[in-house]
Structure 1
Amino acid sequence: MIGRIRGTLAEKQPPEILVDVAGVGYEIHMPMTSFYQLPSIGEEVVVFTHFVVREDAQLLFGFADKMERGLFRELIKANGVGPKLGLAILSGMSAAQFLSSVQNEDVSALVSLPGIGKKTAERLVVELKDRLAKFGKTQSIVMPPPSSDLLNANTVVPLNDTREDAQSALIALGYKPAQASKLVESVYQEGMESESLIREALKAAI
């Protein structure tokens, strides 16, 4: 088990990073909530990791702190939740928001996330409410409902490099191309960097 990696941040392409450790590059998938906390390329970074071995791949998932990693580990134990969906959940809302949604049985907040339907959201609440109690109580967080116009859009808008990077990140997190395009276009402002654009697009999704 690889539990922590410390090295030089060599590349950042949301939702993946490359960390150089004594000449060996580790590709790590991260939720955007952790991605936002990364230092600049070339600086030292410490990432708490979870190692997943599959028949067709060996994958590293990274987190800014042990709490988020612990929440990810509980998520992927839930029925029907794999690492990719766990990553999408923790990209669409913070650990505190997810804990609050489960504790308050806020199914509507969970269904705003990609890959989460009503039945899956209800199952997550049932399966995780008691298991997540060890993470402590969180304050109730009011989250706006998703916009049906935004999420049901079926046109893809031509993008510049920044918007293309943001759209690619959203697609990697489980959003459909047309949905990702509409989210990006709804919040894009001239001069925005990719990370800021992704952050605002994810906020718009919920």
Structure 2
Amino acid sequence: MIGRIHGVLLEKTPPEVLIDVAGVGYELHLPMTSFYKLPKVGESCTLFTHFVVREDAQLLFGFADKLERGLFRELIKANGVGPKLGLAILSGMSAPQFLSAVQKEDVSSLTSLPGIGKKTAERLVVELRDRLAKFSQTLPSPDSFTLGQDPDAVDTDTFVPVNDVKEEAVSALVALGYKPPQASKMVNSVFADGMSSESLIRQALKASL
């Protein structure tokens, strides 16, 4: 199993990245909460990984820390939760926010995430409440995203046309499970001049909760 990747960040196309490790490019799928913590393209980075093998694909998922990976692994053990939904859950909520929602049985917050209806949310609470207790003492406060950098800061190194920024943000939300019309509405409702695609995605996800 591939448990850790360290190399040079070549591409960032949320929610996917390409990392060069000794000349080999690894494609990884990241929850947006980990994506926000990435360095700039061309810099080195380290991600903890979870490898999924299916009949039709081999997928590598990356996480900024072991805690987020551990929560992802608990999520995909739950009935009806696959890697894609697990990724969407950890993109729409930070790990501490999700943990808090489960502990408080906050079904309404959980149903704001794509692919989670009321029955699924209730099932997640029942299945995960006890299993997630081990994370309680190690995760930061529920209101914190604990980012290594300000995701809402304007990237002054490169200029990206507004349409490209919006399209990338919409594409990322669709990849996370939102319907195209819903994704477009979410992006347009929070867009402001100077926003990067990452900050736009983050604000769109926060506004949906």
Fold agreement, TM-score > 0.5: yes
Paired with 1:140 and 1:80, the residues of 2 have a C-alpha distance of: 25
Letter in 2 for 1:40: K
Alignment map for 1:35-54 (pairs within 5 Å):
35-54=35-54
Q: Does the 8 Å CA contact 1:104/1:140 hold for their aligned counterparts?
A: no
The aligned residue for residue 163 of structure 1 is: 166
Q: Deviations over 1:44-66 (max 9, x none)?
A: 00000000000000000000000
Per-residue CA deviation, residues 18-65 of structure 1 (Å, 9 max, x unaligned), is: 000011000000000000000000000000000000000000000000
**Partner of 1:131: helix, strand, or coil?**
coil
Q: What does residue 192 of structure 1 align with?
A: 195
Aligned to 2:2: 2
Q: Distance in 2 between matches of 1:187 and 1:45?
A: 29
What is the SS of the residue equivalent to 2:39? coil
State how far apart, in whole Å, the 1-side matches of 2:108 and 2:208 are.
12
Using the alignment, how far apart are the partners of 2:63 and 2:26 within structure 1?
14
**1:148 corresponds to:** none
Shift of 1:170: 0.2
- Per-residue Cα deviation, 1:138-167 (whole angstroms, up to 9, x for no partner): 7566xxxxxxxxxxxxxxxxx711100000
- How many angstroms does 1:190 deviate by? 1.4
Q: How far apart are the structure 1 equivalents of 2:125 and 2:114?
A: 17
Indicate yes or no: 2:116 matched with 1:116: yes
How is 1:139-178 mapped onto 2 (pairs within 5 angstroms)?
Answer: 160-178=163-181
Ranges in structure 1 where 5+ consecutive residues have no aligned partner = 142-158
TM-score by length of 1: 0.90
In the alignment, the residues of structure 2 paired with residue 115 and residue 20 of structure 1 have an alpha-carbon distance, to the nearest angstrom, of: 32
Is 1:204 aligned with 2:207?
yes
Consecutive aligned runs of 4 or more in structure 1 exceeding 6 Å deviation: none
Instruction: Report the CA distance between 1:191 and its aligned residue.
Output: 1.8
Q: 1:140 to 1:21 in 2, by over 3 A?
A: closer
Matched, 1:69 2:72: no
Amino acid of the residue matched to residue 195 of structure 2?
M
Return the letter of the residue paired with 1:130. Answer: D
How is 1:14-25 mapped onto 2 (pairs within 5 angstroms)? 14-25=14-25
| Structure 2 gaps, min length 5 | 144-161
Give the TM-score normalised by the residue count of structure 2: 0.88
Shift in Å, 1:204: 1.0
- Work out whether 1:183 is the aligned partner of 2:164: no
What secondary structure, in the 3-state scheme, does the structure 1 residue paired with 2:114 have? coil
CA deviation vs aligned residue, 1:60-100 (integer Å, no higher than 9, x gap):
00000000000000000000000000000000000000000
Check the 8 A contact 1:163/1:184 in 2, yes or no.
Answer: yes
Residue matched to 2:31: 31
Do the aligned partners of 1:19 and 1:26 also contact (CA within 8 Å) in 2? yes
